[in-house]
Amino acid sequence: MFPILKKEFNSFFAGPIAYLVIGLFLLMNGLYLWVFKDDFNILNAGFSDLSPFFYMAPWLFLFLIPAITMKSFANEFSSGTIEILKTNPISDWQIVLGKFSASLLLVVVALVPTLTYVFSINELGDPVGNLDFGSTIGSYVGLLLLATTYTAIGLFTSTLSENQIVAFILGVFITFFLFYGFDAISNSVGNNLSIKKMGINEHFKSISRGVIDTRDILYFLSVTIFFLYITKTRL
């Protein structure tokens, strides 16, 4: 598994993908949170709060994570290297988990620089340190779980086509539906909470409040394992 992880992770930085993903993620967040004078601007909020960042990040991940994972298997299928990969003394699970871990690690690398936002808001608060660290830590945990689920979905869609663009579009569609689709269905039938809880957004918002609920963690882990399993089955 680790040789696959190392090879995949290095391949991201061998081309433009890693730099584009990290650069776009930080640029979009930086502009909307600190530069543009709109509702997302943290400096205009009037209180120490990172909720605009945690609202935007899942939507940015909808596009950035499928962009990371789209080549994982689609490129292997189109170039024929999947046959060479499968003749190596490694199991299908090791291949899947190696590629999954490499993609997720790149997302974590993109998230690390955003910790400067926490430091900045903490120092800008009046008094200094006037920041709800409980909800902030919970939101970061939620983002990591969200990224884990998105990565598993993107990995699966990369097995559905040899065309990376098709894999990207499918990844965006499935993640969008799981993130917001159930909310839309719930609102159309009278705000049904049971339907909302079938989607990702409700569980992400629950963790973002600073309460780490076992049910939310189990939800994310279940969806992740399900998509990893059907990815392995596709192989």
Sketch the domain layout of the chain as residue ranges: 2-234
> Rounded to whole angstroms, how far apart are CA atoms 217 and 110?
22
Q: Does the pLDDT of residue 204 top 70, yes or no?
A: yes
Q: What share of the chain is helix, strand, coil (3-state, %, to 5)?
A: 80, 0, 20
Average pLDDT of span 161-165: 90
Handedness of CA 229, 157, 194, 104 (dihedral sign): positive
4, 46, 129, 164 from 69: Cα distances, Å: 14, 38, 38, 9
3-state secondary structure of 189: coil
214 close to 235: Cβ distance less than 8 angstroms:
no
> Rounded to whole angstroms, how far apart are CA atoms 44 and 157?
40
The predicted structure's pLDDT at residue 222: 95
Q: What is the pLDDT of residues 93-118, one digit of tens each?
A: 999 999 999 999 999 999 999 998 88
Q: Does the pLDDT of residue 48 top 80, yes or no?
A: no
The predicted structure's pLDDT at residue 45: 67
